[in-house]
């Protein structure tokens, strides 16, 4: 097998693992905050519904975390297995955040174990709530550190190369690279946003299925509020991400926007198809690209013409960018309508089709997460370490990557199906109405057995 | 002490901790499956669920710590081991997934207690050490070879090597032995006489094979890597201490006395042997290509990693203490009197 093939195969396997892991990771980062908020509201309002909400979310959360841990271990090891040349270079410069991430994992895993197995063990609910804070912090910290590594791949700094030798390495400079602030902020905001909409989907689904319990309505309202707040934050930070790109990775922005010539007063192109260098059937928003890139309508935006052919990212990332932004805008708008409607007692809020739209929010947010990562990653091509190391030079020379693709595809399929089956079985066997009734009878609820 | 030595000592220590906690986890799964097979499942399942379910993720992080740390301190290992370990490491990942999903799907989740699943979970506990331990054999040299400038793994040489097989067999016996001794203690604390008796029996059964296979490896090394072998002989006293500690554990278990001390002696036994082995391996990470000196990262990164490690430890130790206090040393919890699972 040729070297070219192992590069392609390694890319496919990495893409598969990351795309699968990121779903669980995003939920892993976002859900602890949601549980924290629900439990806190429950304690403050002395409302058992919110406490139960937190508890039921926590039960499902354990399962997604476990799969997140498994797939995360896979990607962590695969980075060295599939990209040994990259890891050898990266290990010298950016190993610090990777290493710190491990401590964040420890912290999260330890307190999660404690939190899950100490429900009702303390007289004072607030003590139990305190245990969740390290879980949320640990999850957030691990996403910060790993995102820093990814930021470094996009905007490497903190070292010099002298005659093929790495010199003047500064681990802190490498960590605090220009891509880091926007990336970390965007990843965190989107994780919270996506988690809120996923939980809203579940509540809405129960309402669509005919339950009219106030428990689900409370859950839906709380999660939609959170979803709205974080979707606004996401859009704002996304705008900053665009400005970062214009400054430091203009080729990525230009490829995403089909912006071929450097020019001012640049228009933003949404969707459409390319005919040579001319977009067709596209929605064009005048000045919008200049505003996204620099904040002023007249600003000049660097075009693809400034880059040699072999350093241009693939043009199809345009659709990834559009997908992400459209979903972001839609969810911000939709949750706004929902909140406004709830507040004004509008009739449409309780209509079935509207509830179905709410159900769609969770999957849409997850699609936006995937689109965002694919956009960042594919948009960095042909580089693995922008400006220093090409993806084609970084891959393993091992000839068995194809077999491993089959192996892991099977594994992820089983884990994915397993998650869905187990989660739905778990909640079906122990519906909230039953659990509420049990709790009223004085039993503390707890294990469904 | 040089930075290189600090780095490798930290990694070796965490690898040792992983070996101990993972052995407990792997072996417990196997005993559980075995007792399901002989229809005595109720004896062990409760204990396994109470102790293992809250801590398996922590166990897993020890493993992650090791492979992230070694790339951090010794980036050149990515080049030699990363390229050659694709298949064994991928198999290990799938096996780890089987275990992780068992906890998620069978113990926390919908309680899928299908027998096939229990057997798979148990079997993965044996296959995992068997798939991870050949790396130790590979580090002795002779299996990773160079083709031009690219390393590759000579599978034929590996699979026909008595050294590799004796390391695999040692890893299996050690897993079962460590796990049985720990569970004897835990079951005894839980006041479960039946489970204690069962685990005590397993501990005694596996003690002999564990010590015989350990000696076998030293013997195999004589032919395979004479340089390493002679360095081991220089450290004969450490292995002698290790053997005395082993004898102490077996004596206590035999006499049904002080299982807690027996487990501590066992940790001491493995600690001395593991470190003596590590010291004798020095300075090689991979005979004869890679030493800890020529693969070491730059000084700035090394210092940053060590600072991060100390800070991290400051966070980790109190948290681990809390975890153990709640789940290992809390009488009511261990006895299963209270169920506080979400
Ligand atoms: C450690 C940093 C890191 C992080 C946080 C991510 N990736 Fe990445 N990704 C890589 C490190 C990387 C890589 C291993 O370095 C690859 C392989 C080739 C390349 O250029 O980068 C890569 C490639 C790569 C590709 C293939 C691009 C191509 O071949 O054109 C896709 C689709 C993704 N990744 C998807 C993701 C997803 C869904 C992520 C969400 C978790 C993600 N990446 C985060
Ligand atoms: C190349 C990229 C990545 C690598 C190498 C990686 C590595 C890992 C590893 C090794 C684990 C398991 C840790 C354990 O044993 O507990 C893990 C879990 C996790 N990862 Fe990733 N990860 C990557 C990308 C991401 C990203 C982009 C995020 C967040 C935005 C993320 C968030 C998490 C979280 C929160 C967990 C804990 C499990 C959970 O709560 O679901 N990871 N990751
Ligand atoms: C609403 C408008 C949005 C804008 C203007 C926007 C903008 C951007 C930009 C410019 C990047 C690339 C950053 C880079 O490559 O360095 C990016 C990446 C990303 N986006 Fe968005 N985004 C928006 C909404 C969303 C939404 C709704 C989600 C998911 C819920 C999302 C998830 C992501 C993710 C996960 C990444 C990869 C991480 C990163 O590079 O920051 N985005 N976004």
Taking CB atoms within 8 Å and a gap of at least 24, the contacts of A351-356 are A352/A208, A355/A204, A355/A207, A355/A208, A356/A204, A356/A208
Higher pLDDT residue, B9 or A392? B9
| A373 pLDDT tier (thresholds 50, 70, 90) | very high
Note the pLDDT tens digit of each residue in A249-299: 888 888 888 877 787 777 788 887 777 777 778 777 877 788 887 877 777
What's the rounded Cα separation, in Å, for the pair A378 and B72? 26
Report the separation in Å between the CA atom of A285 and the middle of ligand 2, taken as the mean of its atom positions.
38
Dihedral, B234, B235, B241, B247 alpha carbons, nearest 10: -80
pLDDT score for B331 = 66
Per-residue pLDDT, B111 = 61
Alpha carbon of A18 to ligand 1 centroid (Å): 7
Average pLDDT value for residue range B323-341: 68
Residue B134 lies inside a defined structural domain of this protein: yes
- Chain B residues whose CB is inside 8 A of the A426 CB are 109-110
pLDDT one-digit tens code per residue, B191-223: 888 888 888 888 888 888 888 888 888 888 888
Q: Give the pLDDT band of residue B335 (cuts 50, 70, 90).
A: low
Give SS3 for A123: coil
Distance in angstroms (rounded) separating the CA atoms of residues B285 and B102: 34
Range A217-241 burial, b when 16+ CB lie within 10 A, else e? bbbbbbbbbbbbbbbbbbbebbbeb
Going from the Cα of A320 to the center of ligand 3, the distance in angstroms, rounded, reads 10
- For residue A18 and ligand 1, the question of a CB distance below 6 A is answered with yes
Lowest mean pLDDT among A202-216, A408-422, B29-43: B29-43
A7 lines ligand 1 (CB under 6 A): no
Tokens of A385: 């370490």
Look at residue A34 in the predicted model and tell me its pLDDT: 93
Mean pLDDT value across residues B39-50: 72
Task: Tell me the pLDDT of chain B averaged across its residues.
Answer: 83
Classify each residue of B273-299 as buried b or exposed e, where b means 16 or more C-beta atoms within 10 Å of its C-beta. Answer: bbbbbbebbeebbbbebbbbeebbbbe
Distance between CA atoms of residues A190 and A238, nearest Å: 10
β strands within B60-190, DSSP E: 144-147, 150-153
Is residue A375 lining ligand 1, measured as CB closer than 6 Å?
no
Nearest Cα residue to B137 out of B295, B303, B281: B281
Three-class secondary structure of residue A268 per DSSP: strand
**Where does the pLDDT of residue B332 fall: very low under 50, low under 70, confident under 90, or very high at 90 and above?**
low
What pLDDT sits at residue A420? 87
Of all residues in chain B, the one with the smallest CA distance to A169 is B300
Which of A280-294, B161-175, B256-270, B313-327 has the lowest average pLDDT? A280-294
Nearest atom (ligand 3) to Cα of A332: 1
Contact B339 A118 (CB under 8 A): no
Residue A444 has pLDDT above 60, yes or no: no
- Region of poorest pLDDT, from A77-81, A136-140, A418-422, B39-43: B39-43
**Residue B110 predicted with pLDDT over 60:** no
Beta pairing class for A268-270 and A283-285: antiparallel
Residue A172 has pLDDT above 70, yes or no: yes
Residues A235, A190: contact at Cβ < 8 Å? no
CA neighbor of A25 nearest in space, from A427, A369, A299, A445 = A369
No. of helices (H) and no. of strands (E), chain A: 14, 8
* Residue B124 predicted with pLDDT over 70: yes
More confident residue, A148 or B146: A148
SS3 assignment, position B53: helix
Q: Is residue B176 part of a domain?
A: yes
pLDDT class for B126, splitting at 50, 70, 90? confident
Supply the pLDDT for residue A237.
92
Which of the listed ranges A128-132, A178-182, A367-371 does the model predict with the highest average pLDDT? Answer: A367-371
Which ligand 1 atom minimizes the distance to the CA of A21?
41
- The ipTM is 0.79
Ligand 3: centre distance to CA A376 (Å): 8
Closest-approach residue (CA) in chain B for A81: B82
Residue B175 placed within a domain: yes
Per-chain mean pLDDT for chain A: 85
In the predicted structure, residue A449 carries a pLDDT above the cut 50: no
Average pLDDT over residues A103-119: 84
Contact call for residues A110 and B323 (beta carbons, < 8 A): yes
With a cut of 80, say whether residue B53 has pLDDT above it.
no
Chain B environment of A411 (Cβ under 8 Å): 94, 97
- In the predicted structure, residue A2 carries a pLDDT above the cut 60: no
Return the residue whose CA atom lies nearest to atom 9 of ligand 1.
A377
Q: Is A70 on the interface with B (CB under 8 A)?
A: yes
Q: Which residues of A75-102 are buried (b: 16+ CB within 10 A; e: fewer)?
A: bbbbbbbbbbbbbbbbbbbbbbbbbbbb
Domain residues for the domain of B192 are 3-334
Contact B78 A170 (CB under 8 A): no
CA–centroid distance, residue B196 to ligand 1 (Å): 49
A320 CB less than 6 Å from ligand 2? no
The rounded distance, in Å, linking the Cα atoms of B105 and B120 is: 13
A381 lines ligand 3 (CB under 6 A): no
> What is the DSSP pairing of strand A383-385 with strand A389-390?
antiparallel
Q: Is A395 in the pocket of ligand 2 (CB under 6 A)?
A: no
Q: How does residue A372 score in pLDDT terms, banded at 50, 70 and 90?
A: very high
Which tokens is A130 given? 């305190």
Share of chain B above pLDDT 90, in %: 4
Residue B339 covered by a domain: no
- pLDDT average, residue stretch A429-445: 68
For residue B136, the model assigns a pLDDT of 85
Neighbours of A292 (CB within 10 A): 23
**Is residue B170 in a domain?**
yes
pLDDT for the residue A446? 43
Q: Do A70 and B72 touch (CB under 8 A)?
A: no
Kindly tell me if the per-residue pLDDT of B42 is higher than 70. Answer: no
- Rounded to the nearest angstrom, the minimum Cα separation between B246 and chain A is 31
Cis peptide, bond prior to residue B217, ω within 30 of zero: no
Cβ–ligand 2 distance for A28 under 6 Å, the answer yes
Q: What is the pLDDT of residue A364?
A: 94
The CA A330 to ligand 3 mean position distance, Å, reads 14
Q: Is B168 part of any domain?
A: yes
Distance from the Cα of B205 to chain A's closest Cα (Å) equals: 33
Write the burial class of residue A344 (CB in 10 Å: 0-12 exposed, 13-18 middle, 19+ buried).
Answer: exposed
**How confident is the model at residue B262, as a pLDDT?**
87
φ/ψ (deg, to 5) at B190: -75, -5
Weakest mean pLDDT among A77-86, A437-446, B71-80: A437-446
**Distance from the A386 Cα atom to the nearest Cα atom in chain B, whole angstroms:** 20
Both tokens of residue B176?
């079962």
For residue B61, the ligand closest to its alpha carbon is 2
Residue B342 lies in a domain: no
For residue A8, what are the contacts with CB-CB under 8 A and spacing of at least 6? none
pLDDT band at B36 (very low <50, low <70, confident <90, very high): confident
- Both structure tokens of B175: 């897993």
Set of chain B residues whose Cβ sits within 8 Å of the Cβ of A98: 68, 71-72
Rounded to whole angstroms, the Cα distance separating A216 from A258 reads 44
CA A53 – CA A39 distance, rounded (Å): 8
- Record the tokens describing residue B15, joined without a space: 């690898």
Is B65 a residue whose pLDDT tops 70?
Answer: yes
For residue B341, the model assigns a pLDDT of 61
- Nearest in space to B339 (alpha carbons), one of A423, A64, A224, A116: A116
Task: Sort out which chain A residues have CB atoms less than 8 A from B85's CB and list them.
Answer: 81
SS3 letters across A362-376? HHHHHHHHHHHHHHH
Q: How many domains does chain B have?
A: 1
Distance, CA of A108 to CA of A105 (rounded, Å) = 5
B341 domain residue, yes or no: no
Structure tokens at B60: 């897993």
Cα–Cα distance for residue pair B184/B206, rounded to 1 Å: 13
Distance CA B281, CA B217 (A): 14
The radius of gyration computed from the CA coordinates of chain A, to the nearest angstrom, equals 23
User: In the predicted model, is pLDDT for residue A391 greater than 60?
Assistant: yes
Residue-wise pLDDT for A128-171, tens only, equals 888 889 999 999 999 999 999 999 999 888 888 887 778 788 88
A102/B contact by beta carbon, under 8 A: yes
pLDDT value at position A274? 72
Alpha helices in A295-348 (DSSP H): 317-343
CA torsion, points B79, B96, B260, B201, in degrees to nearest 10?
Answer: -120
- Judge whether residue B180 has pLDDT over 80: yes
- How many whole angstroms from its chain centre is CA A101? 17
Q: What is the mean pLDDT of residues A311-339?
A: 90
């Amino acid at each position: 097998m040729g070297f070219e093939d192992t590069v392609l195969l390694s890319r496919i396997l990495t893409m598969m693992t990351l795309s699968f892991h990121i779903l669980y990771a995003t939920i892993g980062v976002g859900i602890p905050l949601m549980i924290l908020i629900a439990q806190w509201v429950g304690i403050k309002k002395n409302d058992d519904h919110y406490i139960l909400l937190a508890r039921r979310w926590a039960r499902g959360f354990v399962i997604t975390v476990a799969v997140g841990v498994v797939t995360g271990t896979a990607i962590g090891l695969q980075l060295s297995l599939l990209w040994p040349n990259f890891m050898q270079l990266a290990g010298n410069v950016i190993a610090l955040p990777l290493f710190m991430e491990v401590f964040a994992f420890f912290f999260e895993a330890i307190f999660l174990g404690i939190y899950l197995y100490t429900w009702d063990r303390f007289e004072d609910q607030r003590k139990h709530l305190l245990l969740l804070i390290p879980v949320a912090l640990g999850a957030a910290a691990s996403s910060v550190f790993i995102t820093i590594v990814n930021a470094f791949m996009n905007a490497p700094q903190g070292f010099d190369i002298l005659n093929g030798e790495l010199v003047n390495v500064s681990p802190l400079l490498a960590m605090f690279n220009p891509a880091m602030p926007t990336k970390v902020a965007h990843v965190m905001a989107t994780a919270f946003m996506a988690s809120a909409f996923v939980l809203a989907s579940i509540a809405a689904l129960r309402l669509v299925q005919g339950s009219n319990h106030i428990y689900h309505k409370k859950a839906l309202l709380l999660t939609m509020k959170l979803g709205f707040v974080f979707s606004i934050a996401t859009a704002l930070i996304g705008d900053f991400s665009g400005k970062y790109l214009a400054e430091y990775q203009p080729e990525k922005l230009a490829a995403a926007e089909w912006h071929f010539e450097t020019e001012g007063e640049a228009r933003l192109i949404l969707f459409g198809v390319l005919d040579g260098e001319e977009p067709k059937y596209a929605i064009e928003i005048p000045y919008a690209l200049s505003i996204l890139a620099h904040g002023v309508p007249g600003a000049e935006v660097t075009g693809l013409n400034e880059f040699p052919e072999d350093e241009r990212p693939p043009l199809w990332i345009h659709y990834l960018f559009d997908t992400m932004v459209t979903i972001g805008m839609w969810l911000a708008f939709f949750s706004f309508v929902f909140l406004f409607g709830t507040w004004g007692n509008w009739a449409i809020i309780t209509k079935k089709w509207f509830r179905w739209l709410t159900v769609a929010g969770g999957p849409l947010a997850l699609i936006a997460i995937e689109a965002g990562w694919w956009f960042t990653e594919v948009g960095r091509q042909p580089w693995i370490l922008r400006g220093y190391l090409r993806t084609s030079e970084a891959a393993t020379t091992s000839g068995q990557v194809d077999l491993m693709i089959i192996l892991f595809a099977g594994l992820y399929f089983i884990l994915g199906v397993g998650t869905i089956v187990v989660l739905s079985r778990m909640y079906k066997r122990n519906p909230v109405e039953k659990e509420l009734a049990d709790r009223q009878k004085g039993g503390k609820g707890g294990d469904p057995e | 002490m040089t930075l290189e030595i600090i780095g490798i000592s930290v990694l070796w220590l965490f690898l040792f901790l992983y070996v101990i906690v993972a052995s407990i986890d792997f072996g417990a799964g196997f005993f559980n499956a075995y007792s399901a097979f002989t229809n005595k499942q109720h004896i062990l399942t409760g204990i396994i669920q109470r102790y293992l379910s809250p801590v398996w993720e922590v166990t897993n992080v020890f493993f992650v710590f090791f492979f992230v740390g070694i790339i951090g301190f010794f980036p050149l290992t990515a080049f030699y081991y990363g390229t050659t370990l694709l298949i064994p490491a991928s198999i290990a990942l799938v096996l780890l997934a089987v275990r992780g999903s068992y906890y998620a799907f069978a113990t926390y989740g919908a309680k899928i207690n299908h027998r096939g699943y229990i057997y798979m979970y148990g079997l993965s506990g044996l296959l995992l050490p068997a798939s991870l331990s050949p790396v130790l054999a590979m580090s002795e040299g002779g299996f990773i070879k160079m083709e031009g400038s690219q390393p590759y793994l000579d599978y034929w040489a590996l699979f026909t090597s008595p050294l590799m097989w004796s390391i695999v067999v040692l890893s299996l016996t050690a897993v079962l032995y460590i796990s049985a001794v720990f569970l004897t203690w835990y079951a005894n604390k839980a006041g479960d006489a039946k489970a204690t008796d069962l685990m005590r029996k397993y501990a005694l059964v596996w003690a002999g094979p564990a010590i015989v296979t350990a000696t076998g490896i030293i013997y195999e090394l004589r032919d395979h890597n004479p340089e390493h072998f002679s360095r081991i002989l220089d450290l004969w006293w450490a292995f002698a201490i290790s053997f005395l500690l082993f004898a102490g554990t077996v004596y206590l278990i035999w006499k049904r006395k002080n299982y807690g001390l027996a487990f501590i002696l066992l940790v001491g036994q493995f600690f001395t042997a593991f470190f003596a082995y590590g010291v004798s391996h020095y300075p090689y990470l991979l005979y004869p290509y890679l030493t800890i000196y020529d693969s070491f990262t730059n000084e700035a990164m090394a210092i940053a990693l060590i600072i991060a490690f100390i800070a991290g430890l400051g966070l980790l130790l109190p948290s681990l203490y809390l975890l153990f206090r709640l789940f290992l040393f809390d009488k009511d919890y261990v006895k299963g009197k209270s169920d506080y699972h979400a």
